[in-house]
Amino acid sequence: MTDAVQDSNRHTISVLVDNESGVLARVIGLFSGRGYNIESLTVAEVDAHENLSRITIVTSGTRMIIEQIKNQLRRLVPVHKVHDLTIEGPHVSRELALIKVASTGEKRVEALRIADIFRARAIDSTNESFVFEVVGATEKVEAFITLMQPLGLVDVSRTGVVAIARGSKPL
């Protein structure tokens, strides 16, 4: 397994699955059972008529491991499509985070100022706190959280990454 550490790369994988009970457990069980790594995983129904859900997984590994992950996912009976957005061409990915900052005075003003730079919206506010909503690439969300740290950050909730290929073609 020594080469697993070498040239490990992050990949965003989109998986189209039947929206049935147990399907998420199958996917997660596959990752934990085989020791693959999950950096983020999101799931929601995307086609009520065809009863399909879309899972977006951000994972990392060597080329051989990433290939294994995709092939193992394809073995699952309720899995219909597996696409590696990272290697298949340009794609956009976003996540949303809700970030609670509790502070007063200078710090509170500074938090608002930085939120403005990040186009984060305050969606809840009291005299001593804000809840900001920030949307963007993972790096942006992380940068925002880091900046909030000294300004009274008390709570974070993140969706994890959703992603889609650029251009006109469907998955």
Partner 1 sequence: MVHHDTMTGAEILLKALVDQGVDVIFGYPGGAVLPIYDELSKQNRIRHILVRHEQAAVHAAEGYARSTGKVGCVLVTSGPGATNAVTGLADAQCDSVPLVCLTGQVPTHLIGNDAFQEADITGITRPCTKHNYLVKDTNQLARTVHEAFHVARSGRPGPVLIDLPKDVVQNRGLYQPPSKTKSKYNPQVKGDIHAIEKAVDLIASAKRPVFYVGGGVINSGIAACQLLTQFVRMTGFPCTLTLMGLGAFPGSDPLFLGMLGMHGTVEANMAMHDCDVMINIGARFDDRVTGRLNAFSPNSKKIHIDIDPSSINKNVAVDLSIVGDCAHVIEDMIKVWKARQPKIDERALRAWWAKIEEWRGADSLRYPASDTIIKPQYAIQRLYDLTRSRNPYICTEVGQHQMWAAQHLRLDSPLHWLTSGGLGTMGYGLPAAMGVQTAHPDALVIDIAGESSIQMNIQEMATLVQHNLPVKIVILNNQYMGMVRQWQELIHGARYSESHMDHHPDFVKLAEAFGAVGLRAERPDQVDGVITEMLAVNRPVIVEMRTDASENVFPMIMPGMAHNEMVLGQEDRSRDNPGSEQDGMVLV
Query: Which residues lie near partner 1 (CB under 8 A)?
Result: 1, 21-22, 25-26, 29, 33, 64, 67-68, 71-72, 74-77, 80
Instruction: Indicate the residue among 50 and 155 with the shorter CB distance to partner 1.
Output: 50
- Nearest distance in Å: CB 112, partner 1: 47
Does residue 49 sit in helix, strand or coil? coil
- Closest by alpha carbon to 43, among 62, 31, 59, 56? 56
Q: Which is nearer to partner 1, 51 or 157 (CB)?
A: 51
CA angle 7, 9, 13 (to 5 degrees): 150
CA atoms within 13 A on the CB side of 45: 8
Alpha helices in 124-165 (DSSP H): 138-148
Taking the complex as a whole, the smallest distance from the CB of residue 44 to partner 1 amounts, in Å, to: 21
Map residue 23 onto helix, strand or coil.
helix
Closer residue to partner 1 in complex, CB, 48/117: 48
To the nearest whole angstrom, how small is the minimum distance from the Cβ of residue 36 to partner 1? 12
State the minimum distance, in angstroms, from the CB of residue 29 to partner 1.
5
- Amino acid, res. 153: L
Nearest CB to partner 1, comparing residues 26 and 158: 26
